[in-house]
Chains A and B, each alone.
Chain A
């Protein structure tokens, strides 16, 4: 994305939490910003990359992004990195030691927790990392606070020479609300000062930093006690009071407008004395935190009488319909309908509508082929292709984390049980995930002589998060030309034999099928690279759409097995075969307005009923141009 003129100071803008953070990063004079895409955090870096006067990058993974940001912070520059919750697991190795060195320039790590798992493989509470790494946590409750807290985080970071975690959740990142923005204040970096005792974390030096880190935590807790980010909303009804942080604060205010609330914007280290004093002013003190009972456990250990996860769910969002009945029950009150005037009806049963792969997606051919193979175990990875586990392919058997397909496949190979003796083990991974964390797994397969066939789906994009650029497509975060990884050379350099590496067009089903079948028979590592771009990016070129000749369609349904969403059933029927077996038939049409002519469905169509749409139109009279 090209740089744009930022909106003037004092503008009131409708911004998502991610956009608000990006604006504040720019205003804070940040010099270096880095991230790997991940829902719901992706837009922070995407938007930052449109601002002038700062360096931004897509890093190959979250650990690298944190190291890049930390490097800039060592030089005294302000720096920023953003990631989804699982990204901080990857980056944590760096975090756990850079907390000892601390920073010179401000370093803010924005971590987006996917509370409610809208687009993630697990639900985590990143506030654990604050406690684990002894770094402060700020928790905004809406876009305006996301903006303000980001600016404050840089002051805090530099005053205490500590990285600061800005804890976001999906309900902050993706909610749009009004934000009043301010001026940019340039920041001057003093430059890197050599100081081995500070920056070289060998045991002796690190041991001497530990007491400093603990003292910093004590100082930060004192700061939290007096911070304006931790404030009380007085309430008239003192039967119940709330200690709340993040979006849960807004939910509490919505559900219990008359209750006193202690809002924690600076939530770790927690201001115990402020909370103790508040708890003494209410009959019941309820801690409302998404998602783990971290603060609650600490408060109970401090002897402060609170309730929390004893009455609230330990997973998912604490929205008003969740909070209200739980707290009313605590007060011994009757639980009314959500709205007095309303009589809500139960949800109606409607078919599920799971996410699908796109029309003409190059992964369709891969999963169609995998679904045709027997006696196979498929180790999967994180990306659009994870959807291969679903209908109609049912061709992905395991998925846990970024890059894990390789290691899991090797383990499935080495740990074969009785029923796996003759199984073929296949790993499926996308280009960006391979570069993120998959390369090491492949090296492990090669080095340890595993019998695994790897499908490396190179679609030249980080597809699931919206087609971001990466080292595999030769474009940087601004869409400018950048050095491009040669996957063929890369996997050969990792030790895969030349004759075991194949580059295949995933739309050519017979070739793909034959290559996959042949390679799974060879008892050594092989890599099949598919080479067609994601249909959502600029590299993809549409072809002439197809249509179905109704009279020729025999209802075999083979085309439906590709899983292309452009194919629709027009009529169902069944026939009894001479063998006495009843076979279901599904006659189809292709939605030509969305078909981009990949030709995948043409190949399994036995009666050749699928033809280019213009061929059918041509036979109509009166067609003029």
Chain B
């Protein structure tokens, strides 16, 4: 697989806005002149199922699918979903994880258990893991639906292009929704950036302590 392709895997649960977030990332990559392919298999995902969305960009993208072990960034909208897709990451990958949990009915019914420490399991792979509660941040800003803008803010400083490009693409989405919605998304984006930066500090301190 070519080294000049960036592979970003965005994962979560149907209804969280995973596919929209990936589309916005794709638009940012296009704005910078990259070739782009985006794919997901999410036929029944609007029913609360697993969603994984693949984004690949670079000079020329062939297969739309990210192969296991080759994702540069894993953007996980839900903690256990991040864990589910850990094997897709390169060893030097960055994982950005929303620690907010969404347990499915099979867990509520007691048929399966929610993992005790999904973020810890992610760290076990050796990848850099920045975790933060994007759901709480979104709720704090007044609307859980801001969660995907928070997640996009979190990834913004870790892309091979500037955060401003991505922010413009996010805000363009809401251009017709009125100034209030735009402002809320601006705040959510900034809060996501700050949360990732804070999580990075924690992770760096942890890495240092282990070293």
Contacts and interface: CB of A to CB of B under 8 A. Distances in A.
Interface in A549-606: 560, 563, 565, 567-569, 572, 584, 586, 588, 593
B64 A337 contact: no
A71 interface: no
B81 to A, nearest CB: 8
A358 interface: yes
Given A391-B111, A560-B109, A339 B69 contact: yes
A31 to B, nearest CB: 31
Interface stretch (A347-355, A468-476, A488-496, A512-520): A347-355
Residue from B23, B45, B68, B112 whose CB has the most chain A CB atoms within 10 Å = B68
A211 B140 CA distance: 73
A563 B83 contact: no
B30 A178 contact: yes
Contact of B36 (A178, A536, A565): A178
Given A348-B83, A351-B80, A356-B104, A170 B41 contact: yes
A352 B81 CA distance: 10
Contact-residue bracket for chain B? 35 or more
Interface string B1-19: 1100000000001100000
A356 B49 contact: yes
Contacts of A39: 43-44
A116 interface: yes
Contacts of A346: 87
B42 A118 contact: yes
A565 B87 contact: no
A347 B87 contact: yes
Interface in A246-269: 247, 250-251, 253-255, 257
Contacts of A116: 41
Contacts of B200: none
Interface in A288-338: 317, 319-321, 337-338
A251 B63 contact: yes
B86 A347 contact: yes
Given A343-B69, A350-B115, A352-B112, A384 B47 contact: yes
A350 B26 CA distance: 29
Residue from B63, B114, B121, B144 whose CB has the most chain A CB atoms within 10 Å = B63
Contacts of A466: 46
Contacts of A342: 69-70, 90-91
A392 interface: yes
B164 to A, nearest CB: 20
Contacts of B90: 339, 341-342
B1 A320 contact: yes
A493 to B, nearest CB: 34
A120 to B, nearest CB: 8
A353 B64 contact: no
Contact of B62 (A114, A253, A338): A253
B159 interface: no
B84 interface: yes
B44 A341 contact: no
A430 interface: no
Contacts of B114: 351
B109 A114 contact: no
Nearest to A119: B43
A593 B138 CA distance: 13
Contacts of A572: 110
B86 A348 contact: yes
Contacts of A584: 110
Contact of B105 (A119, A176, A563): A563
Nearest to B47: A355
Contacts of B50: 353
A355 B49 CA distance: 4
A175 interface: yes
Given A320-B65, A355-B49, A593 B144 contact: yes
Contact of B48 (A170, A339, A565, A568): A565
A353 B13 contact: yes
A351 B36 contact: no
Contacts of A354: 49, 104, 106
A177 interface: yes
Interface string B22-62: 01001100100001111111111111111000000000011
Nearest to A177: B37
Nearest to B118: A350
B108 interface: yes
A355 B37 contact: no
B175 interface: no
A191 B113 CA distance: 65
Given A350-B80, A356-B49, 10 more contacts: A142-B37, A174-B42, A321-B67, A337-B69, A341-B90, A344-B87, A348-B83, A348-B84, A355-B47, A464-B44
26 contacts: A14-B36, A118-B43, A119-B43, A142-B37, A142-B64, A176-B26, A176-B39, A177-B38, A338-B70, A343-B69, A344-B69, A346-B87, A348-B83, A351-B107, A352-B104, A353-B81, A354-B104, A355-B44, A355-B45, A355-B47, A387-B47, A560-B109, A563-B105, A565-B48, A565-B105, A569-B108
9 closest Cβ pairs, A-B complex: A119-B43, A344-B69, A355-B47, A351-B112, A254-B63, A355-B44, A342-B69, A355-B49, A118-B43
